[in-house]
Structure 1
Amino acid sequence: LQGDVGWFKLYPATFPWLSFKYGFSQVQLVGLDEESSEFICRNTFDHPYPTTKLMWIPDTKGVYPDLLATSGDYLRVWRVGETETRLECLLNNNKNSDFCAPLTSFDWNEVDPYLLGTSSIDTTCTIWGLETGQVLGRVNLVSGHVKTQMFDLRHLEHSTIIYEDPQHHPLLRLCWNKQDPNYLATMAMDGMEVVILDVRVPCTPVARLNNHRACVNGIAWAPHSSCHICTAADDHQALIWDIQQMPRAIEDPILAYTAEGEINNVQWASTQPDWIAICYNNCLEILRV
């Protein structure tokens, strides 16, 4: 399953699962039957380009429609119904060209769900307004960028450098602590280490998590705790860490799970925090913490 998985924010047993078939891709919405411990496919729809990320609208109170965003060639927002899923809008910031710069990832603003931010292989980060479908801001980064920078949406021309990899390796993922916004985690491409950063102390990691024995592919902060984080890697392991003793060194994880293949993604359920989803090979598994 070389794609992405994302938990539905409101109903803990519903989340999308990406599947590929013969040159095109599909997104499956599956639920978990707790009595039989079996997955149930609730909906399937075609996606014109392999997705790099899937994410439900951050709506724990059920105020908004059931919207699912996907990134690939463009950013698409889908309206999910009981029996069908239809495209709500397609956000394209290069309408004057027949070519697109595929998106590598995106994130949905949890404070204001009408804002989404995307990153692209053309080294731009774009802020979108969901209501208008218009670009609200854009940041152009230098090719080969190896830094973590923090921008203020009100003044995108200025930024603060939070971290730079000592070996100047590109940074693969970035994940913000859901309970304490002072902390974020990042990792370098092909790296076996996850770095914990404090935005109040730029350029100085407060912790390094380095028990993996192969490339780290995924990181997920606990939705209910500011001091727990899960990491997943090519060594088949998903590790949960307790970082509350920072800045003292974090030697070992508190929990570990070994899968039957290289884990390429991990997500922690926000409404049922004792569930973690992982992807490896062509499999999706739910782990109970």
Structure 2
Amino acid sequence: MTSRNGRPPEKEVYQYDAPWPVYAMDWCKATTADGYRLALGSFMEDHANKLQIVTRSDLMDDRRDYFDPTRQDFLPLAEVDSYYPITKVLWEPRKSRDSDILVTSSDCLRVWELQDSPTRYDNSITSRRPYREPLQTLSKRAELLNTKQSDFCAPLTSFDWNVLDPSLIVTASIDTTCTVWNVETGQAKTQLIAHDRDVYDVAFMHGTSDIFASVGADGSVRMFDLRALEHSTILYEAPPVAATPSSSNFTSIISDGAQPLLRLQFNRINHGLLATFSMDSDTVQILDIRSPSTPVAELKNNHKNNVNCFNWSPVNGSQICTGGDDAQVFVWDITQNSENLHNGNRRHPAHGPILRYEAESEINSLCWNQTLPRWIAVGFGRTVQALRM
């Protein structure tokens, strides 16, 4: 059975089995078929990590000579070595040139350019090459290092790329700092001590180029404004770790009694909302910057083990997707508690998820496609799946 354009009908799930454990992941921001490209980063303890670009193989009409019956749903387009594990990868927020720009974080911030291989469109008889030869190339354009710490660069745990002003990137590091970079000039705009301990994640507030927030091992969500960096706002502090025999010794050591917060992300539609979760927790807190200190909603009682990742919907401000160690992927609608979003006096558990999917093992990463929002990518072990909503 084929569709009108001659291709097979779209599947519910497309799968790619990478040659290494997948951790970092991001969809391309293109609105065309290029939007089905995924950037994948490995996370291995040795020094043989990779950054790879893949795309749906059924959309590669211009490369039918690459097709064979045993091909995977995704075709590798380009690959490059990364000495250290990649903690995050992002495509450029808005494509403004013929080539594509990506940024990765690991020991430092690296800027990559993705271009077509010189012989990709060579149709001569002698130009036919093996199936696995990359169709595109990744070349390193820049390494962004803080010159004050040229002798030692503290590992970067995360970063975010400003959509309103794509020249700005903010990074988070285990040395307690956040650094705002001008990616066009390669210069640090400012660096600040953001937390008392390691910083685990950082994100710009959507709709602004000045405001960002961070979370870390000290268990707090802190918000900063580039126009007034002498002040910061503590939006939320996680309750201290309960002193029980089952408490994680690792958690106690790195946090000095606080409950570390691992991730945060601002809502793409309702800019005042953000989500976060704690280490060793099965619950996601929804915060409103207009009502700090107390979550306006909590997503709980469904994940049976730790939450590892989440992503807000790019088109529906009430929906968020979560993934965890229980191999479950949930999509929640927080407006099922709409009255709670305007009441910061007490915590309110959200109703159950509206969609669910079970993978084969623990979900380590997920990404909601911003330009083709019917698709969510999830990563577990060496496997990446693109799920159609």
TM-score interval, normalised by the smaller of the two chains: over 0.9
* Residues 1:171 and 1:13: Cα distance change in structure 2 (over 3 Å): same
Residues 1:102 and 2:155 aligned together:
yes
Q: How does 1:173-212 map to 2 (within 5 A)?
A: 173-210=263-300, 211-212=302-303
For each residue in 1:151-182, what CA deviation from the matched residue of structure 2 results, as whole angstroms up to 9, or x when unmatched?
Answer: 11111121111111012311000011011111
Residues 1:77 and 2:111 aligned together:
yes
Which of 257, 266, 281 pairs up with 2:381? Answer: 281
Matched residue, 2:129: none
Task: Measure how far apart 1:270 and its partner are.
Answer: 0.6
Distance 2:191 2:310 in 1: 26
Task: Measure how far apart 1:33 and its partner are.
Answer: 2.7
- The percent identity for this pair of structures is 43
Q: Which amino acid aligns with 1:217?
A: N
Distance 2:326 2:380 in 1: 11
Matched residue, 1:43: 78
* Residues 1:37 and 1:242: Cα distance change in structure 2 (over 3 Å): farther
Matched residue, 1:250: 350
Residues 1:266 and 2:286 aligned together:
no
Matched residue, 1:4: 24
Distance 2:318 2:376 in 1: 16
* 1:26 aligned counterpart, secondary structure: strand
Task: Measure how far apart 1:189 and its partner are.
Answer: 1.0
Task: Measure how far apart 1:85 and its partner are.
Answer: 1.1
Report the structure number with the largest CA radius of gyration: 2
Q: Which amino acid aligns with 2:383?
A: C
* Residues 1:283 and 1:2: Cα distance change in structure 2 (over 3 Å): same
Residues 1:58 and 2:93 aligned together:
yes
* 2:372 aligned counterpart, secondary structure: coil
Q: Which amino acid aligns with 2:41?
A: L
* Residues 1:191 and 1:170: Cα distance change in structure 2 (over 3 Å): same
Q: Which has the higher helix share?
A: 2
Q: Which amino acid aligns with 1:55?
A: L
Check the 8 A contact 1:126/1:138 in 2, yes or no.
yes
**Count of aligned pairs between the two proteins:** 287
Check the 8 A contact 2:219/2:237 in 1, yes or no.
yes
Point out where structure 2 has 5 or more consecutive residues left out of the alignment: 1-20, 60-70, 118-136, 198-216, 241-257, 341-347
Which of 220, 228, 241 pairs up with 2:332? Answer: 241
Task: Measure how far apart 1:145 and its partner are.
Answer: 2.0
Residues 1:117 and 2:141 aligned together:
no
Could you state the TM-score of these two structures normalised by the residue count of structure 1? 0.95
Q: Which amino acid aligns with 2:110?
A: R
Check the 8 A contact 2:110/2:140 in 1, yes or no.
yes
Distance 1:79 1:150 in 2: 32
The root-mean-square deviation of aligned C-alpha atoms, in Å, is 1.6
Task: Measure how far apart 1:190 and its partner are.
Answer: 1.3
* 1:99 aligned counterpart, secondary structure: coil
Point out where structure 1 has 5 or more consecutive residues left out of the alignment: none
Q: How does 1:134-149 map to 2 (within 5 A)?
A: 134-140=187-193, 141-143=195-197, 144-149=217-222
Check the 8 A contact 2:309/2:324 in 1, yes or no.
yes
Residues 1:86 and 2:139 aligned together:
yes
* 1:81 aligned counterpart, secondary structure: strand
Could you state the TM-score of these two structures normalised by the residue count of structure 2? 0.71
* 1:202 aligned counterpart, secondary structure: coil
